[in-house]
Structure 1
Amino acid sequence: MPPALVQIEHHPYQPRTELVRFCHERGIHVIAHSPLSVPGLLAEPVLADITDETGLTPAGVVLAWNVTRGVVPIPSSTTTSRVVGNLAAAGRRLDAETCDRIDMLRRPDFER
């Protein structure tokens, strides 16, 4: 029996495009655990630029990028306003050009 979903590390530094595509082609849902806890990610200048353009926070941009790629992000927060903001950001979709800019953050050698 094939899996219904996989949970992976998924963020702009490690987008795992081939794995995500493989899963989607087989009807397997992809879940990104801790998509915002990557050191340095939320301080990336490209995310700040996109923040200015979209009105989202840097975290919101990363969450919207995940959802736009068909990946379910599961961020965590203990702050009510951040939980609400994260939920709202996950309801947004980014255009292809914006996603391409975020995809440029890919770091094949990234390790935690």
Structure 2
Amino acid sequence: MSAALKTLPVYLLASVVLLGSFSRLTHGVYTPTWYAFQEYHLPDDGSVAATVTSAVDALVGLTLLFGTRALKLLAAGASLLFFTAGLAMQAQAGKLYHADVALVVLAAAAVVRLLSR
């Protein structure tokens, strides 16, 4: 298997997380569909959680791109934890959660890939 395919889950996860950060920072001006997905999960109401989310996403995304193997694994694990918690909250609230399942699968694939190195 080529090196590019081996690192694909990690780079895809980094892209999704950085897209989330960018979308929150710009309030969806350039990414309206992604921002609508974020608003569905956590409204951008000025709360601490809504404010901190973009900074945490940026930190996790940059760590996935430029961190050491251990830091990448930590970032992917944190993403898996947050995505799984989001999936559980969406399911419990009776909201649509199909996209959340895809995020959990992507984060799990990145964790598995980083563990197999």
By percentage of residues, which structure has more helix? 2
Is TM-score (shorter-chain normalized) higher than 0.5? no
> For the pair shown, which has the larger CA radius of gyration, 1 or 2?
2
By percentage of residues, which structure has more strand? 1
Give the TM-score taking structure 1 as reference length. 0.28
Give the TM-score taking structure 2 as reference length. 0.27
